[in-house]
Structure 1
Amino acid sequence: MSRDYANRKPRAGAKARAPQRKKAPKRSFPYFAVFVILTLLSGFGYFLWSINGSSDSPVTSEQVQQPKKKTVQAVAADAPKKVVKKDPNALPPKPQEEWTYLEELENKQVEIDLPQSGVVSSGIYQMQCGSFRQESQANEMKARIAFQGAEAQVRRSEGTNGIWYRVVLGPYPNKREAEHNRHKMQSAGLNGCIIWLWE
């Protein structure tokens, strides 16, 4: 059995209850806050009253003295001095040179011990960067070397295995210059250069 609570009629003896509202609590007067504010205001007013006359202190008779007679030196010292204004763009004075190493090194001699090498060469060095069957290939490499700022020669040689065209640089008076040019060629991509002694 189901009950219909929505359409149910109230009982005859029961009274309808009205919703009750809660009463707001009564606010008391903020005595403490008013007391603190009045205390602060009165303290600030007393502070202003106490500093009111401090700047106008009276001059005592001890502080007032008769002016002394000044000497000529004192008058000259009290005279207004001329103020020299500095230019903000002015350069500072040139510093004095205090270097002594120039005089010390003027008469010095430097001795260097070089290691003795076992091989003493009396010839001239040359460098070969290529050997070709066709002269056109040798001339092409010669042009590549010329772009690096060096001068090469194409030399024709005949041997048991036929005719070859060699690309040669030099002669160099020492091996150091030849090595320098070989490093120059290596940086340009020519890695096949060989240094040999031509006597």
Structure 2
Amino acid sequence: MLGSLDCMHWDWAACPTAWKGQHHRGDHNSPTTILQAVASQDLWIWHAYFGMAGANNDIAVLMSSNLFDDVIDEVEPDTSLYANDVEYKYGYYLTDGIYPEWATLVKTLSCPDDEKRLYFKKKQESARKDIERAFGVLKKDGLSSPNRRGYLKKGELIAQQGLMIQDQKNIIKDHEQQIGNFVEENKKQFEKIRLLVENDKQKLPSL
């Protein structure tokens, strides 16, 4: 299991006036923003996607998010597993009943008719509480609690994501620099090897 997938709406108190109409939902009295997240059992949120403006449900956000981009592009890490002597190529996410019937999404059973399916329903719904607990921690830590750090603006949330991406780019840049330094320091040695290879090629009989 890769984690539990769900979306959360919370009131956006700092929403700019010009955007309030785009972020208004009929079941909320104030503007809201939506977060799609995947959380593991230890409450680690390793996927976060902020949905588009408008009254979007979980399906609309899923269709626009980048959650399965690596799977579609066939560049995802190996998450295959064996269960009951059957190999499954992809990892899976626990979801509720609103999500589509995809191979990577494992939903609960609406009407279990035997003990085995009832047991599965109980375990699936129990494990899926991980994402609800993670959302609860986010709310408690100040995303929607004015009594602590205040409302966190959507721009600040996006800025935090930008900083994380920049950190990853810096790591890649450092690795590229280290490779470049290694090549530069060993350029003479590489040239000697190249000359030796060229000499060996010249000594080979022509066909």
Do both share a fold (TM > 0.5)? no
Give the shorter-chain TM-score range.
under 0.3
TM-score by length of 2: 0.18
Judging by fraction of residues, say which structure has more helix.
Answer: 2
Larger Rg: 1
TM-score by length of 1: 0.18
